[in-house]
Chain A
């Protein structure tokens, strides 16, 4: 399964992601420069964290118009697998591939900490190796992670089971105290209608080895490979 990592000026999560695919998963991986127009035949597009185009105006607002993004949007609309992490999630909402928007944390602080997440759906390309309602630990590192959307969209996301990850406490209880950024319904990650595009604020690539403080992030990446090998790739 070939992975492509989108790199904008200002991205900074690409090297960690590259390490995950090359060293941990040992799957083919390539960087995709934002100014190019070729996805190089990858099977999954990763939009990593960072400050694409400096996050000027709004996080993701300018990155969304990069030449490569047109290809990414077309790829996603055809059902191609896309994972947007942190700034990648912000870019996906700005591009219209995912609903809602991510606004400034109510703390007005850059929140850099471990969070517990409850896996709400396991029949997805991104979480099929997780247990239903499994609690995983992944770090967040962002200043604009408050997920907001209008009431109708929020209801639809819940009804259609498109909330994949929710901030919770260690016991898996979704509480206001376990919500680090004011996200509606403690939402940490959602998918699009077809279920092939996931945006998430936490960083799975930063917890793939015990030495990094945890390996739960590997479940997301391994799920993608399992999904692919299980039929999507054939």
Chain B
């Protein structure tokens, strides 16, 4: 069994109004050091199987077909083997 953690973020070129709003809120709380805030999505997927390579290929396919929109988003996949 594998656990995939998928992190989806807006591409750098895409305006992230939520991130900007949170950035402003942090500043108004006094955190003047904050340079930038980008929001994203965090998806955890439990996957049956034994072969790491297969699991990774499958999760990447899930990302490009459904989980992320390649026009506006980038994604990262972290895969770890877990006990059933």
Residue numbers of A with Cβ under 8 A of B are: 57-58, 61-62, 65, 93-94, 99-101, 103-108, 146, 148-150, 182
Contacts and interface: CB of A to CB of B under 8 A. Distances in A.
B44 to A, nearest CB: 14
15 contacts: A57-B66, A57-B67, A58-B69, A61-B66, A61-B69, A65-B66, A101-B69, A105-B17, A106-B17, A107-B17, A108-B17, A108-B18, A148-B14, A148-B71, A148-B72
Given A104-B18, A105-B17, A150-B13, 4 more contacts: A94-B69, A100-B71, A101-B72, A103-B72
A107 B13 CA distance: 18
Interface residues of B, number: 14
A11 to B, nearest CB: 20
Contacts, number: 39
A52 B20 CA distance: 28
Nearest to A182: B15
A101 B71 contact: yes
Nearest to A105: B17
A63 to B, nearest CB: 12
A179 to B, nearest CB: 13
Greatest chain A CB density within 10 A among B10, B20, B67, B69 is at B69
